[in-house]
Every structure is written in C-alpha cells, then in structure tokens.
Amino acid sequence: MKIYAVIDTNVLVSTMVTHNKNAATVRVIRAILEEKIIPLFNYEILAEYDEVLHRPKFNLRETDIKKIISDIIIRGEKAERVLSQEEIIDPKDVAFYEVALSKEDAYLVTGNLKHFPKKPIVVTPAEMLQILDDNGLLE
C-alpha cells in the first residue's frame, strides 16, 4: 500500500531546523525517503519550498535545501490542481490543498491546521504517523 500526501512547507522547515531526530516532522520526511509516503507536488509547491527554505531567518545550507526538494521530486509524483470552492485564508496555501485533492485518498500534511478547511485529508505530522502505523507501514 502507498500513502500519497502533499507536504506543507512548514513541515519541511520544522524538519530542517529541529534538533529532535524523532520529531513527527522528521519521521514524516523519513517515511518519504523510505518510500512509505509518496509526496505529491506541482511547480507552485516546489517554488514555495524553494522560496521559504531560502529565507535568511532559517539559515539553511544550500546543499540541504537542494537535497530535500530533490528527494521530494525523485520519490514523488507531479500532480495537477483540482479546483476547490473551499475558503482558504492564504492564497499560497490553495495549491497545496488542491494538489492533495488530485489523488483519491491523498492527504495534506501540515503543522497549520487552521490554514485549511477542516477535512479528513488535512492532517498533522503526528496524525500522518498514526495513518502509517494503522496501515502497517511503521516499525
């Protein structure tokens, strides 16, 4: 079984700035590397990753930024947006939600639930880990 998910930018940022190697965000990215989660993306999502991860306040190394984006591209699937009539506060978040709608049973993994509609597809990193566990995909 494969779990498809759009990974919100805040999950990548949290993964890259934390020192806790067992944080839920880190474990979600590890699940991508282990091909337990297939990330969905489009050009807008990749551009958002690149722009946010390059913000000086995060002080991230260029090689680390390129690696995480490359890992998502290599292990993921490009997807098209499915137009939604849902109210989404930040226009930049619309692409993430609409790409998640492109694949049946896909999720949107975010640390900012309040930015998205209250729908079962919108989950926190901890909830995604529970979904993986429920499907026998976590050790």
Q: Considering its fold, how many domains does the chain have in total?
A: 1
- pLDDT top residue among 14 and 2: 14
Residue 87 burial (C-beta neighbours within 10 Å; 0-12, 13-18, 19+): exposed
pLDDT tens for each residue of 107-139: 999 999 999 999 999 999 999 999 999 999 987
pLDDT tens for each residue of 67-84: 999 999 999 999 999 999
State which residues form the domain around 112.
3-134
44 within some domain: yes
Distance of alpha carbon 76 from alpha carbon 103, whole angstroms: 12
Residue 88 burial (C-beta neighbours within 10 Å; 0-12, 13-18, 19+): middle
20 within some domain: yes
Tokens standing for residue 51: 């722009």
pLDDT band of residue 2 (cuts 50, 70, 90) is confident
- pTM (2 d.p.): 0.96
In 3-state terms, what secondary structure has residue 21?
A: coil
139 within some domain: no
Distance of alpha carbon 61 from alpha carbon 59, whole angstroms: 7
